[in-house]
């Protein structure tokens, strides 16, 4: 039952391990001469001013929000799509209604001007 998942876990582990080994080899082979200038923040030679965590614009939150909503929508629709062959017509139309309600949400965001990149 869980056998394929063992392979998935192993492959994910290998996916971490191989780059880890490569970086370790790099660490062994490379020179290690740190100094203050080298390690300072890189901004094309200009002195860094102020703190790193600059104020970001709030629009990023809106994109994350819409993504979350549509992600959940997709998650709800995947079992429906798997069962598609066994569904009657009205069941398909219910899912269409589900999609239309979410599309209305997207249309609202569009009308509101949220989707403009400012």
Partner 1 sequence: MTILQIIFLLTAFLTLLAALRVVTSPSMVHAALWLILALAGVAVVFILLNATFLAVVQVAVYIDAIAIMIIIVVMLTRGAVRGQGHTVSKTWWAAALSALVMLTGLLVMLLQAPVRGALPPTLPLDQEAFLERLGQALVDVNQYILPFEVASVLLVAAMVGAIIVAWPLFVRRGEEER
Partner 2 sequence: MDSFWIDPFSFIGSQLAAWLTGLGLAENWVSLILQLVGALALGTAVLILTFLLIWAERKIVARIQDRLGPNRVGPYGIFQTVADLLKLVTKELITPEGADLLPYNLAPLLAVMSVVGLWAVIPMAPTLLGADIHVGVLYIVSVGSIGTLGILLAGLSSNNKYALLGAFRTVALMISYAVPMALALLVPVLLAGSMSMQEIVLAQKGLPFLLLAPVAALIFFVSSIAEVGRAPFDLLEAESEIVAGFHIEYSGLKFGMFFVAEFLHAFTISALTAVLFMGGWRGPWAEQYTALGFLYFLVKTSLVYFVVIWIRGSFPRIRIDQMNALNWKLITPVALAGLVVTAVAEKVALELGAPRLLTHLAGNALLIFAAAAGLGAYARAARRRSELLAKASKAEAPAG
Partner 3 sequence: MIPLSWFLIFAALLFCVGLYGALARRNAIAILMAIELMLNAVNINLVAFWRYLGPEAVSGQAFALVVFAVAASEAAVGLALMISIYRRRHTVAVEEIDMMKW
- The 25-64 site mask, x for binding partner 2 (CB under 8 A), equals xxx-xxxxxx-x-xxxxxxx---x---xxx-x--xx--xx
CB of 81 to partner 3, least distance (A): 14
Secondary structure of residue 40 in the 3-state scheme:
coil
92 Cβ neighbours under 8 A, 6+ residues apart = 84
Does the footprint of partner 3 cover residue 84 (CB under 8 A)?
no
Q: Which stretch binds partner 3 (CB under 8 A): 7-15, 19-27, 46-54, 58-66?
A: 58-66
CB of 76 to partner 1, least distance (A): 6
User: Distance (Å, rounded) from C-alpha 20 to C-alpha 117?
Assistant: 38
Sign of CA dihedral 29, 30, 31, 33: negative
């Amino acid at each position: 039952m869980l056998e394929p998942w063992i392979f998935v876990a192993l492959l994910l582990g290998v996916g971490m391990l191989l780059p880890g080994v490569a970086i370790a080899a790099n660490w062994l082979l490379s020179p290690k001469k740190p100094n203050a200038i080298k390690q300072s923040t890189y901004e094309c030679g200009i002195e860094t001013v102020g703190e790193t965590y600059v104020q970001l614009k709030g629009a990023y939150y809106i994109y994350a929000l819409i993504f979350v909503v549509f992600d959940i929508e997709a998650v709800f629709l995947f079992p429906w799509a798997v069962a598609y062959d066994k569904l009657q017509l009205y069941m398909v139309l219910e899912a269409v209604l589900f999609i239309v309600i979410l599309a209305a949400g997207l249309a609202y965001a569009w009308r509101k001007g949220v989707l403009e990149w400012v």
